[in-house]
Amino acid sequence: MIYRAEEVRERFARRGLSFDPTVEEIVRGILEAVREEGDEALDRLSRDLDGHPVEEIPKRLWREAYEDLDEELRDALETARERIEAFYREEARGGFLRAEAGGVLGQLVRPLGRVGVYVPGGSAPLLSSLLMSVVPAKVAGVGEVIVASPPRVHPGVLAAAWVAGADRLFAMGGAQAIAALAYGTGRVPRVDKIVGPGNAYVVAAKRLVYGVVGLDGLAGPTETMIVADGSASPRLLAADLLAQAEHGPDSEPWLLSPDRALLERVEAELFRQLQDLPRAEIARQALEKGGLVLTQDLEEAFALANLYAPEHLCLALSDPLPWLGRVENAGGVFLGEGSPEALGDYIAGPSHVMPTSGTARFQGGLSLRDFLKVIPVMGLAEGAVRELARKGAVLARAEGLEGHARSLDLRR
C-alpha cells in the first residue's frame, strides 16, 4: 500500500519505546528470584523457560565449533572480525592531561572492567550480533567480556565467540540471564554493563536493572527506512525492504520517495520476490507495519526521516553524499543502493547494534565510547585556588550551602 506523507507524519511523530505491564510484572519476579536465590533460581528458571539448566561452555568447545565450520563461513567470520576491529581502532579513546598556569586539568579514559553481551537465540542464530558487540569491547580494552545466549547455543555462536575473543560464555537466556549478569550469582560474575538486543522480556529486564548496571540502550523491533529517487532500482529496493522484513513480524521497513511510478514498481516487485522467500509470512506481516510513502519532494522525505529517526537510514539516491548534511536522526546511514543495510548487518565494519523506536533522536549506535568511562582530573596551583575559592564560595552561599563555602574560605 502506498501512503501519502500526511498519512504517516503523526504516526512518526508519536514513536517511542513501549512496555507491556504484564511482561514487566513477570520480569520483576524473575529478577527478584535471581537476586535473592542466585544460581538455584537461575537454574530453576532456565529449566522452566528454556528447558535446560545454565552451564558455562568451555572454550575448547568454541574452538571445536569454529574448526567444524566450512572454510567459507570461517573466512567470512574472520573477515567480519577484522573489519569491525579496524573500524573501532580508528575511534579516539585516549584521555589528556594539560598543564596550564593555574595548575593541571585533564581527563582519564578507562575501559570498563567487565561487560555482559547478550546474544539472542530464536529462529536465527545471530553470529553477527556477537561479533558486533564483543569486538568493540575488546578493542576498548574491557577486562572481561562475558557472553550469554539461550541454552542449546548454536555452534555458529560458539565459533563467533572464539573468533571475537570473548572471555566466557554461558548458556542462559531471557530475563534470568540479564538478572544473573546484573546481580551476579555463585557461577556468573556481576558485570558493569550489559549490551546486546533481545526479546520483550530481555528488554524489560534491562530496563529494570538499569542503575545496578549500565546499558547500551533499550532495543525495540528492528527498522529500515529508505529514501529513494527515480534512479533507484525497484528490484534492489524491494530486496532491501524484504531483508529487513524477514527479521520478524514486528519489523518496520519503509520506503520514501517523490516518484510514484517508482513506488508502484517496488510494490509489484515486493509481491514477486515474496513468492519464494523462505520467511515470506513473517515478511508479509512486517510489510504491513511499514509501507511505501509518496512525498512531495526529497526535502519532505528527509523531514519525515528525521521525524521517524530510523535505526537504519538508506539513501538510494543518484548522488547521496550532498544529502548527508540533511540527516539529523538515524542509527546508521547507508550511502547509495550499492551499500545495502544487509552489508552493515554483517561485515562492513560499524556495529549493527543501533537505536530503534525513535531513540536515535538522542543516542547513536554502539561505539567504543560505550565501553569506556571518562574521569575528570583537577589539580590547581595555589594561586588559582585562592582566586577561584573566593568566587566558588559566593556561588555556594547563593545556594545556601554554607559548609561548601567554609571549605573554600579555608583555602584562601
- Give the tens place of pLDDT for each residue, 243-274: 999 988 989 999 999 999 999 999 999 999 99
Annotated binding site for Zn(2+): 244, 247, 345, 404
Grid cell locating 319: 548522488
8 A C-beta contact, residue 188 and residue 91: no
Grid cell locating 170: 554461558
Annotated binding site: 118, 176, 199, 222, 244, 247, 312, 345, 399, 404
Helix axes 174-183, 21-37, angle to 10 degrees: 50
In three-state secondary structure terms, 335 is: strand
Of 165-169, 288-292, 344-348, the least confident? 344-348
Is the pLDDT score of 123 beyond 70?
A: no
Catalytic residues: 311-312
2-15+221-349 has which fold? Rossmann fold (3.40.50)
Other C-beta atoms lying within 10 Å of the C-beta of residue 272: 11
List the one residue out of 342, 317, 302, 322 whose CA is nearest residue 228. 317
List the one residue out of 255, 287, 257 whose CA is nearest residue 274. 287
Annotated binding site for substrate: 222, 244, 247, 312, 345, 399, 404
Annotated binding site for NAD(+): 118, 176, 199
Helix axes 21-37, 200-209, angle to 10 degrees: 60
Of 6-10, 255-259, 293-297, the least confident? 6-10
Is the pLDDT score of 96 beyond 80?
A: no
Interatomic CA distance for residues 366 and 87, integer angstroms:
12
**Where in the chain do CATH 3.40.50.1980 domains reside?**
2-15+221-349, 21-215
Residue percentage of the chain with pLDDT more than 90: 68
In CATH, 21-215 is 3.40.50.1980: yes
